[in-house]
Amino acid sequence: MDAALANRWGFAASETSHCDELPTSTTHCAAGTATLLVSSSKASEETARIQRQRHGLDLMADHRAWGREKATPERPLSFDEDIFGTTGWCEFNYPVTRGVRVLGPSRFVKFNDFASLRAVLETSADLPSNVIPTVATEARMLNVAPRARFLDTIAHYQHRPTAFVFADKDHPLETYVRLAGIRQLLDTHPRVLLPYVEPLVASDALAHGAEWVGIGASSARRFPKRPGDKGGGPVSKGYLPGLFLRDYLEFRSPEVYAEWFANSASPVCGRCSRALDLFSTSPTDKAAIVRHNIHAMHEFLTALMEQPAADRAAWLNGVRVEALDRHLVLAQRGGAIRTGETLRLLLELDDPQMRRLSPAGIWS
């Protein structure tokens, strides 16, 4: 693994958030070993500002051309219409001497557009050394029918680190076949970076050999959308950000947890010194949720990576089984429990009997 990629995970954040996700992520990453991925059309300006204030912070940047522009075989990368071309744009905004690694300015590859996919991969080979080739495409590419061709197309580029962004209108990886597709990608392509995922997918990817993962500090960065998809989804309960509850491996609104734990003791975070099911809609409390999420996710991934490499997948599956058991105990106490979809799917992937789980967490 490259020395520059010694940090195995990081947090993707934007300055446009209303929950202070970028300054909160910056503070956390500057105090430890996590990488900060600045995900914004203004990433160059934001990373320059952060570098002036936080010396030594491991920084990545993503200008997110893939979120706005669709690739064609003739125009696979962004900024190629500029007088200095894509390479000139990279060198001007992110010179190697700045020490910032950059996700390549790839346009978005539409479903089954393998000509554009090949063009993205081929033209990315000529970018500056600090620019990571990036494939941003529809999560449907991981479905059973197109997957073999997708993997065959990228197989010629296994020698170099490549960032993969899988997007959809909503929760792009929340299907059995797509999670299985991520594992197959990791098995066949040894240098995978996944910059926009949620913590359950991030942990599974690390356990199966991902070189680097980036967890979104907000739902917009955990669940990337395709160009043209409408922003936002259903309003979260109580208009609060999702909160990561490590013991249950859930990411829900605190108001959902308030219903779950109505007949039980509230979960408490010792580091935050507060119950995790009682927050107001104030900017201060919303920022507190983001702050909790970042340290809780960091501690979760640290515990995973402390395991011997050969044991990580089994250890993680054991943690998921324990989380499911806690759901069932809570349900027996009268909690209104519905086990998270991604948790159920990952448990099903690892079940030797190939059983299925009901939304309540019951094997069948």
Q: What percent of the chain has pLDDT over 90?
A: 84
Specify the pLDDT at position 113: 98
What is the Cα–Cα distance from 360 to 20, expressed in whole angstroms?
A: 34
Give the count of beta carbons closer than 10 Å to the beta carbon of residue 87.
Answer: 17
Specify the pLDDT at position 3: 40
SS3 of residue 193 by DSSP? strand
What is the Cα–Cα distance from 230 to 141, expressed in whole angstroms?
A: 21
SS3 of residue 262 by DSSP? coil
Q: What are phi and psi of 11, to 5 degrees?
A: -125, 130
On the CB side of 4, CA atoms within 13 Å amount to 13
Q: What is the mean pLDDT of the chain?
A: 93
- Residue 6 above 50 pLDDT? no
Specify the pLDDT at position 58: 94
pTM confidence score: 0.95
Specify the pLDDT at position 159: 85
Please write the tens of the pLDDT for every residue from 46-71: 999 999 999 889 999 999 999 999 99
Give the count of beta carbons closer than 10 Å to the beta carbon of residue 132.
Answer: 23
Please write the tens of the pLDDT for every residue from 266-286: 999 999 999 999 999 999 999
Which pairs count as long-range contacts for 303-312, CB under 8 Å and 24+ apart, including other chains? 304/203, 304/206, 304/207, 305/8, 305/206, 312/206, 312/207
160: nearest Cα among 191, 206, 204, 188: 191
Specify the pLDDT at position 236: 66
Radius of gyration of the chain (CA): 20
- Residue 34 above 50 pLDDT? yes
Specify the pLDDT at position 1: 36
